[in-house]
Structure 1
Amino acid sequence: MSKKKKKKRAQLPFRINMLFFVVFLLFSVLILQLGVVQILNGEDFQQEIERTNLDTTKIPVPRGKIYDRNGNVIVDNEAVYSITYTPPKGVQAEDRLELAEKLAAYIEMDDEDTLKGVTERNRKEYWYLLNKEEADDRLSDEEKENMTNAEVYQETLALITEDEIKDFSKEELEVIAIKKELDKAYSLTPQIVKNKNVTAKEYATIAENLAKLPGINATTDWNRKYPYGSTLKSLLGSITTQEQGIPAEEEANYLSKGYSRNDRVGKSGLELQYEDLLRGRKEQIQYTTTKSGAIIGSETIVQGERGKDLVLSIDMEFQEEVDKIVQKELQTAITTYPHANRYLEDALAVVIDPQTGDLLAVSGIHYDRENGEYVDAAFKTLSDAHEPGSVVKGATVLAGLQSGVITPGQTFYDSPIRVAQTPPLRSASSNIGTMDDITALKRSSNVYMGYIALKMMGENRYPYPENAPLSINDNWQQGFQEMRNYFRQFGLGSSTGIDFPHESTGLEGTIRTPGELMYNAIGQFDTFTTMQLAQYTATIANDGYRVRPHFLKEAHDPIASQDELGPLYSAENTEVLNRIQMSDDNIKRVQEGFRQVFQTSGGTAYGDFGNSPYNPAGKTGTAETAVYMEGQKLADTRNLALIGYAPFDEPEIAFAILTPYTGTDNNHSIPRKIGTQILETYFDLKEKRDKASDEDSDQEETTDEEEQE
């Protein structure tokens, strides 16, 4: 064997040894790494393995504020301490009971209403959790065999006796009350446990012990605050409580918009109408949880933003004064004539800008006879319809002129119309004489309106033969429909288009005889709301253009400052719903008739408005009606109304006033007294503000001059 071959054989074991050594080192490193992973980082990696999908919870934010047209806050938010519960996944009834017992050591739930809210079922469920084994044994296996788990549970609760749940201590009742709130919570959705009368001590104690109270949080909630008290409250509306949550009948709709079941939402009025603007954008927090439901991480993925702020067209300073006027005159009438006014309970008034549709004041005062109190009932201007009397005669004259059954200036002698089998139609004042269309409005001639109605049905005899039957054909009901169609052009008998959840469009009287159209022509058949009367008045004042009345003027984005409005989000423009199909000349004749009602001797409102410096126009109305209850007539009575606008040439405001069931005498001045004071208050307030604005402008100019010097 050569020396070279021996050398190669000697090197082979060395290389193999080196290879084994390297492999040994690699295994050693691997084992060391596995040890590090298992011992040092094992818990972290195990949590990573146990992570579930990310869950998102939405935190409610304050609603938007509501302002009047001058920047005064009408509806605000008031921060209150709140204790909430956000349950993790997989939590059981026993867990909630344990948490309730811990929480009871830190807060008190001894409010009388809270403890009264603890039901018999709540007590039984509490007793069951404390005595689960004993309770479960009360049903045999044979009894349970054909029952579902839910049925077994219900039957088990039913077997718990009254004696077993009657002697709970006050402390135990508080635990039950807390658990009751915890049971309402949905997974990863905050549920308020307590937000009434949470003390600073309770808030701080909970905040310090959150680690011991899984799912509990000490936070801030918001309640609605009304700086003007009950003023306009019935129109502003209300929001649901968290206990009520979203309305059950609209649950699917709300859930599709991202609401939670326990969210507070607008329940009525403007809070409901503008829910989408006022609700705000919830803060969204994304949680990472383990399979057991424990939260191991969180991240805010959407910043919360309170709702948009609304600016209404209402002038709250003016609104408060109108409310005072309406209440004063209603109270005076009721206390002065208690017998005649035993059914008088409401006085209603609407003031609107006829050119823009801005509602400046909407007032309704109701006398609560049972409690002897006067309360806000402004909603009745939209919900309650009544026969308004002669205020509709402007629409009647225009219907007659435009349909061609009368011509401008056409005259009729005011003498009672006696149609067979129909009550005689006569004017309130006797010896009025010969009337044309303008003087018929001025003197409020029922007879003139009666002839318009007869002609619209095809009856052309004049003067009408006393007690003669009508000589019209079978198509006389077309006259009824034609007059109603003209009325609807003004909004009488149709929707006003107002931005409010609900409004009445009035009721059409049941037609029995042709002669009833004569009474519809004088406002004693179909019924209308005060808001409809205001829109009708504004349409005449606005040269025949019917604008949509509206509460909302602007919406603004919220900003960090709580004391000022943010950037403009949207603005409500004037919306013309229609232009009445009547000529300018005919409209001017009715306007002149309305002017003479207020400003010339012999006008039915001249005694109240003849010396007014505001150049007003309008129409009075009295409707003979009756009070009924359950189909039985209780008493004859009257509805009193007044419509008007001012100034006559360039109207700034239009108004409608209605006082139903005022009795049969002594009360004809209620709407007129309200109307004169509304005009005086509006223009005095305007003058005061104009003067203040001029003084501010002078002061600014002086300041600028001083700075230049």
Structure 2
Amino acid sequence: MGKKKKRKMQLPFRLNILFIFVFALFSLLILQLGVVQILNGEAAQDQINETENTQASISVPRGLMYDRFGNLILDNESTRSITYTPPKNGDSAAERLDLAEKLGEYITMEEEFEELDKLIRERDKKEYWYMLNAKEAGERLTEEELGLDTSEQYKITLDKITAEDYNEYDWSDPVLLNVVAIKKELDAASEFSPHIVKNENVTEKEYALVSEHLYELTGIDASIDWNRVSKVDDTFSTFIGDITSTNEGIPSENQDFYLTRGYSRNDRVGKSGLEQEYESVLTGQKEIIEYVTNNNGVIVGQNTVIDGKSGSDLILTVDIELQSELDKIVQEELESYYNQNPSENRYMEDALVAMLDPQTGDVLALSGAHRTEDNEYVDHSYRTIYDQHLPGSTIKGATVLAALDSGVMSPGEQIYDRPIKIANDPEKSSWSNNLGYVDDIEALEQSSNVYMFNVAIRLASANYQYGEKLSGFNWDSFQTLRNYYNQFGLGVETGIDLPYESTGVVGDPDNGGLLLDLAIGQYDTYTTLQLAQYVSTIANDGYRVRPHIVKEVRESNASKDTLGPVIESFDTDILNRVVMDDAYIARVQEGFKRVVSEGTASSHWGNNEYKVAAKTGTAQNEFYADGNIQSTYNLSLVGYAPYDEPEVAFAIVIPKTGTGNDQNGIHHEIGNRIIEKYFELKEERDEAGVTENLNEEIIEEN
């Protein structure tokens, strides 16, 4: 009995211990719940409701371009665009493929199969196969390869995919090609940055279908984009420049530059000409959108942080009507001159012209016609600032000024024009052996080479005897003469507002006789624009002015028929004043005037009524072609008008004409026609009351 009673007393004790233990656990749990609810409840709820703000930018129309009279040159054309914005937390390749298949039901990347097929590379086919056969592809990796990082594994995996693998799929099926092409664009998108999937030739039907099914196309949007459209066809197009395509985006070599300035990788930017030079002005202010997302990366709201603003407009110095007429003249004369003797002129390809306002540096027109191998004629105006040629006697004005300023020649000092011969070199002479005594002005009027040879010999402090070497020759004389040339813009940058210009080619002389060639434009080479700046400096009494194409920057206006307020004006920029007596420059101006009135160009300009001062040039031009050294001639002409109050200066270069006889010279024909056209247009505008003083009033519709 006693034992049974003892066991009964032990059971409740154990239950009590268990009850106490359970009670303690529940107490701790309740305490913890209280702490969470009372002390941390608000923070926990904030975490549940946590959102993140992410900004994205939307492109705006680029600024427009007008000529000096307010004529619209470059416009924007709205275009339908299909874009993709990836979710914040990214998406998988399978999700993008699914989206591409859905989108492929509504848009076609290219209508023609051949063009669609060009979009797909072998790598695209391998990636498509890999995406659908990832497990099988992964099994091809060795244990060693599995130890590499993910990117290396992926690269090796693609290398192991064969044509037999990806040709399991029918690549002649345009539907498949279309889906893969769309997925390529989806893959290229950056997080929270709208990426253009298609914006060229998006049809009205495609735009409507995508808009209608946006609810099932996550991240896809149908929007309006902008393309550049010239209002004057190809006129001046090589200087207006281009922008990158949507596939190019920002140039890889300048990626850091653009990204730090708020650009997205797929943004279109200027890649040449004025589009590149004035990118920061033309691009405008993007619209900044702030997206609000929850913890799952789902967009729960958005608001505009910064309103977009179209790019600013450019008012150019160019007279687009003169430019168009100049293009016609240059092409017509090149074609006509070539056809006179195709065999002799077979190497003649280009005719180049630059026209400036010598007082302000305004570029009025830059024209270049190019003859192709098929004898077709195309616009290559860019050659006026990129290509360099031997200028011939056109630079003798700078040589005379170097002589007068250095003191090696005195104003009015006469030199007897007779042939010069140095050691074993061929005899050097002027174009005629009957020039007799010539001074500085007459040397320009009659284009005396011998006068310039004597300038070179004296600059070099050399002793000359017919048939012997130059003794005591000072080699610094090459740089001395070039320093004078540089003051006029020859051999240095003109400073034009374009991304690139050539400065010509400076030779490395190995004999003193080459200084004589340099003095008559037969050694160093220059661009057509450099020659135009040089003659402008003479016309402008020794002031070298920077040539520029942009005259003003104006705010964009909602209406293309009006101009916005001026933001910035580009005034005359004097680069340097030629350091010499004004009287010396006046003598060269007189020499250039006489060239036309009674000198070497008088027979070509006798009927021109516009008071032209000019200097002709013929340079022997040898080059290697067709297995032999070919000997041709460059014809050149520089000038300005009217000579008493210059308002237009020009330079003309016709390389490789094939003849030194310029009695029927193409450069004179072009020169007469462009000067006549310039003043003809000026008179028409004066009669019509058209001026260059643009304001915010309505301008004439184009």
TM-score (norm 2): 0.89
TM-score (norm 1): 0.88
Which of 337, 340, 355 is the aligned partner of 1:351?
Answer: 355
Which of 292, 304, 324 is the aligned partner of 1:288?
Answer: 292
- Equivalent in the alignment of 1:121: 123
**Does the CA contact (< 8 Å) of 1:598 and 1:616 recur in 2?**
yes
Evaluate the alpha carbon distance shift between residue 151 and residue 518 of structure 1 in structure 2; reply closer, same or farther with a 3 A threshold: closer
- Residue 74 of structure 2 aligns to a residue whose secondary structure is strand
The question of 1:638 aligning with 2:633 is answered yes
- Residue 52 of structure 2 aligns to a residue whose secondary structure is coil
Range with greater deviation from structure 2 (538-547 or 428-437)? 428-437
Per-residue CA deviations over 1:138-168 (Å, capped at 9, x if unaligned) read 446x355423222333333333331332323
- Equivalent in the alignment of 1:133: 135
- Residues of 1 paired with 2:395 and 2:660: CA distance? 22
Which of 310, 331, 335 is the aligned partner of 1:306?
Answer: 310
- Equivalent in the alignment of 2:48: 49
- Residues of 2 paired with 1:622 and 1:675: CA distance? 15
- Equivalent in the alignment of 2:23: none
For 2:107, give the aligned amino acid.
I
- Residues of 2 paired with 1:647 and 1:670: CA distance? 22
For 1:375, give the aligned amino acid.
V
Which of 383, 397, 400 is the aligned partner of 1:397?
Answer: 400
**Does the CA contact (< 8 Å) of 2:618 and 2:660 recur in 1?**
no
- Equivalent in the alignment of 1:367: 371
- Equivalent in the alignment of 1:606: 602
- Equivalent in the alignment of 1:466: 466
- Equivalent in the alignment of 1:657: 652
Which of 435, 439, 453 is the aligned partner of 1:436?
Answer: 439
Instruction: State how 1:11-160 maps to structure 2 within 5 Å.
Output: 49-89=48-88, 90-111=90-111, 112-139=114-141, 142=143, 145-160=146-161
The question of 1:686 aligning with 2:674 is answered no
- Residues of 2 paired with 1:46 and 1:164: CA distance? 52
Instruction: State how 1:477-556 maps to structure 2 within 5 Å.
Output: 477-556=475-554
**Does the CA contact (< 8 Å) of 2:146 and 2:153 recur in 1?**
no
- Residues of 1 paired with 2:296 and 2:380: CA distance? 54
For 2:544, give the aligned amino acid.
R
Per-residue CA deviations over 1:192-241 (Å, capped at 9, x if unaligned) read 11112111111111111111111100001111111211111111111111
Range with greater deviation from structure 2 (492-501 or 413-422)? 413-422
Which of 418, 421, 428 is the aligned partner of 1:418?
Answer: 421
Q: Return 5+ residue gaps in structure 2 as ranges.
A: 1-36, 692-702
| 1:353 CA drift (Å) | 0.3
**Does the CA contact (< 8 Å) of 1:75 and 1:225 recur in 2?**
yes
Instruction: State how 1:249-268 maps to structure 2 within 5 Å.
Output: 249-268=253-272
- Equivalent in the alignment of 2:186: 182
Which of 378, 388, 393 is the aligned partner of 1:385?
Answer: 388
- Equivalent in the alignment of 1:573: 571
Evaluate the alpha carbon distance shift between residue 114 and residue 265 of structure 1 in structure 2; reply closer, same or farther with a 3 A threshold: farther
- Residues of 1 paired with 2:162 and 2:310: CA distance? 49
For 2:101, give the aligned amino acid.
E
- Residue 314 of structure 2 aligns to a residue whose secondary structure is strand
For 2:280, give the aligned amino acid.
D
- Equivalent in the alignment of 1:19: none
- Residue 477 of structure 1 aligns to a residue whose secondary structure is coil
Q: Return 5+ residue gaps in structure 1 as ranges.
A: 1-33, 696-709
- Equivalent in the alignment of 2:558: 560
**Does the CA contact (< 8 Å) of 1:340 and 1:665 recur in 2?**
no
- Residues of 2 paired with 1:263 and 1:629: CA distance? 44
- Equivalent in the alignment of 2:11: none
- Residues of 2 paired with 1:397 and 1:654: CA distance? 20
| 1:94 CA drift (Å) | 1.2
- Residues of 1 paired with 2:91 and 2:46: CA distance? 19
- Residue 205 of structure 2 aligns to a residue whose secondary structure is helix
**Does the CA contact (< 8 Å) of 2:116 and 2:174 recur in 1?**
no
| 1:48 CA drift (Å) | 7.8
- Residues of 2 paired with 1:417 and 1:129: CA distance? 81
- Residues of 2 paired with 1:61 and 1:411: CA distance? 67
- Residues of 2 paired with 1:156 and 1:694: CA distance? 70
| 1:470 CA drift (Å) | 2.0
Per-residue CA deviations over 1:624-653 (Å, capped at 9, x if unaligned) read 1202359x7530111110001000100010
For 2:679, give the aligned amino acid.
F
RMSD: 2.1
| 1:537 CA drift (Å) | 0.4
- Residues of 2 paired with 1:694 and 1:100: CA distance? 56
| 1:50 CA drift (Å) | 4.4
**Does the CA contact (< 8 Å) of 2:116 and 2:177 recur in 1?**
no
- Residues of 1 paired with 2:607 and 2:105: CA distance? 73
- Residue 53 of structure 1 aligns to a residue whose secondary structure is strand
